[in-house]
Amino acid sequence: WDETHFGKMGSYYINRTFFFDVHPPLGKMLIGLAGYLSGYDGTFPFQKPGDKYEQHNYLGMRGVSLSRLVSSWLALLCLSVQMLELSKSLPAALLTAFVLIFDTGCITLSQYILLDPILMFFLMGAVLSMVKCNSCADRPFSASWWFWLSMTGVNLAGAMGVKFVGLFVVLFVGLNTIYDLWDLLGNLSLSLVMFGKHLLARVLCLILLPLALYTAMFAVHFTVLNKSGPGDGFFSSAFQSQLIGNNLHNVSIPE
């Protein structure tokens, strides 16, 4: 059923048809983009689970669940590197890799048009970036430290932009950041000015950057979906007047 739902969402993006859904737009935009780039024309109805795709090119949309690539391999790489960083044990990292490769849930999820593999990618990426940033703690404000801190923010925005359950990794990174700042505050050899720089760097990369990216996702979402479709009624008359094909399109709406 979920593949039918998210496949239809991808078709809406390809046809630039406005719709209303409970999830943030990033994952569905990536599914639609993959379908568009792979030659899918957005005409399959996605009426009920199990319908045959026949001549419709659905492989691109299944592929972005970046299915076999992202969820099975890049997430695997992230988790393995995390284990290697955290445990400093190659056997532990290899065991983690094999457990994930042969996990039935991951294998199943990576075969369909779903948001979960994309979400897994950003979740793994956020934790990996956080761990790598922590490993650079002895050389703060270096290029690698800034890179991993920024990548943590980018992946947090990605996780939140796919599903709201991404809030859990935001909480996890937030608790790690609070612990890190508390530890720095207790370092008597560190001046308050330097502590302020640490605080500002984290506000910039872990709060402002994710918020800016998250807002930009919705800007793209509303720019692409410029035609009337299901869900118009959830929005104001002024908004509906901007949608091509809506009864209120280009009608002057009093303030």
Convert the pLDDT of each residue in 121-171 to its tens digit.
888 889 889 988 998 999 999 999 999 999 999 999 999 999 999 999 999
Q: Give which of 164, 158, 107, 112 is closest to 5, Cα–Cα.
A: 112
Count the Cβ atoms, other than its own, within 10 Å of residue 197. 14
pLDDT for 95 equals: 79
Q: What is the pLDDT of residue 70?
A: 54
* pLDDT, position 90: 76
Per-residue pLDDT at 24: 92
pLDDT of residue 192: 93
**Nearest residue to 128 (alpha-carbon basis) of 102, 89, 154, 162:** 154
Higher pLDDT, 68 or 210: 210
Q: Which residue has the higher pLDDT, 95 or 226?
A: 226
**Looking at this protein, which amino acid is placed at residue 207?**
I
Q: Token pair 């709406």 is at which residue?
A: 253
Q: Residue 228's pLDDT is what?
A: 87
Write out the two tokens for 1: 């059923």
Q: What is the mean pLDDT of residues 215-219?
A: 95
pLDDT of res. 39: 76
Express each pLDDT in 184-210 by its tens digit: 999 989 999 999 999 999 999 999 999
Residue 61 clears pLDDT 60, i.e. is over it: yes
For 136, the token pair is 């650079």
Q: Give domain limits for the chain.
A: 2-242
Rg of the chain, C-alpha, whole Å? 22
Q: What's the token pair of residue 150? A: 């920024």
Spatial contact of 62 and 100, defined as CB atoms under 8 Å apart? no
pLDDT of residue 221 exceeding 80, the answer is yes
Instruction: State the DSSP code for 17.
Output: B
pTM: 0.85
pLDDT at 116 over 90: no
β-pair partners for 244: 227
Q: pLDDT of 22-54, one tens digit each?
A: 889 998 888 888 788 877 776 676 777 766 767
Using DSSP's 3-state secondary structure scheme, residue 248 falls into: coil
Mean pLDDT of the chain: 82
Q: What is the pLDDT of residue 155?
A: 94
